[in-house]
Structure 1
Amino acid sequence: MYEWLRDYQRLMQEIDYLEFELQRYKKELGRWSRGDLSDVKLTEKSKAANLEEIIRTTEHELAHKMNDMRDAKTLISMFKGLDNQILYLKYVEGMTLESIAEELTYSTSHIYKKHAEIMKSIKFAHEINSHFSFPQYHE
């Protein structure tokens, strides 16, 4: 139903985690190159000896995820219907329901009600999917 929202949120979590890892790797590299571990001798098999390559790989993966995010936003913004507009503005653009009502020229109470209905539908669909095993299509 609104699989795009789940996929978008999953992608955001992946990006957030990659950014966290990248920051952690860079701090660790700093410790080895000019910090408290700069006098410790590394072996070739040591993870710290490969930190620069790990950072490059992580940056590359992050760049791909960011491109995926940009493409997802472009696609999602083209979806029609009030439900999709509400979800896009709330969960992608980060707007409040009050701001969404103003932007879409609906009453705040209508947007609150509509959002509650959407969330109820999503929760119901999630519960149905978690209770039943549907075959997955694989190419």
Structure 2
Amino acid sequence: MKPYYDTKVEIEILETTLERLELDYKWWQGQLNPSKHPPHIPLNECVENMRRIGKRINTYTDLLALQYKLKEDIEKLMSTYQGIEGKILYYREVKGMTLKQIAENLGYSYAYIRNINSRLNKKMTIRIQSCS
């Protein structure tokens, strides 16, 4: 399973990229009116750049939707775990902590956390496979 933390970072990157692309698109759109934005850029160049950027906007929008869905699916899966498993999952996936950091934070030995994490991974693999 892709870590939740990585998914959140990818969502932020995609959102930022989309914002930038939308600004670029609007800039090229503004170039279509030469009286407002001299010097004039040829119409075909403006249209071609808008078309190219529009395609990228569509692609990134689709990717962002997939990442939102993945994030939602991970959150649903994580919400089913309680107790120490839930804490390990939260710290590992949401906070991006290592097992050693989790052990220190929760006051358990690294070996104990590693064993629970191993069982947790097996359970999650079975659940993910049953959903496929």
What amino acid is the match of 2:55? E
Tell me, in whole angstroms, the C-alpha distance in 2 between the residues paired with 1:76 and 1:27: 36
Q: 1:38-96 CA distances to partner (integer Å, 9 max, x unpaired)?
A: 9322549x65541111101110110011001000000111123325336528974x8xx
Q: Could you tell me which runs of 5 or more consecutive residues in structure 2 were left unpaired when the two chains were aligned.
A: 32-36, 96-103, 115-132
Are the counterparts in 1 of residues 3 and 93 from structure 2 also a CA contact under 8 Å?
no
Structure 1 residue aligned with 2:24: 28
Q: How many residues align?
A: 100
Structure 2 residue aligned with 1:40: 41
Once the two structures are superposed, the pairs formed by residues 1-139 of structure 1 within 5 Å of their partners are: 7-34=3-30, 36=37, 39-41=40-42, 42-43=44-45, 48-85=50-87, 88=90, 92=94, 113-114=105-106
What amino acid is the match of 1:10? D
- SS of 2:3's partner is helix
TM-score by length of 1: 0.54
Tell me, in whole angstroms, the C-alpha distance in 1 between the residues paired with 2:51 and 2:39: 12
Q: 1:80-138 CA distances to partner (integer Å, 9 max, x unpaired)?
A: 3325336528974x8xxxxxxxxxxxxxxxxx8516867xx68xxxxxxxxxxxxxxxx
Identity rate, percent? 21
Task: Kindly indicate whether structure 1 or structure 2 has the higher relative contact order, using CA contacts under 8 Å at least 6 residues apart.
Answer: 2
- Which structure's residues are more often helix, by fraction? 2
TM-score by length of 2: 0.56
Tell me, in whole angstroms, the C-alpha distance in 2 between the residues paired with 1:34 and 1:43: 13
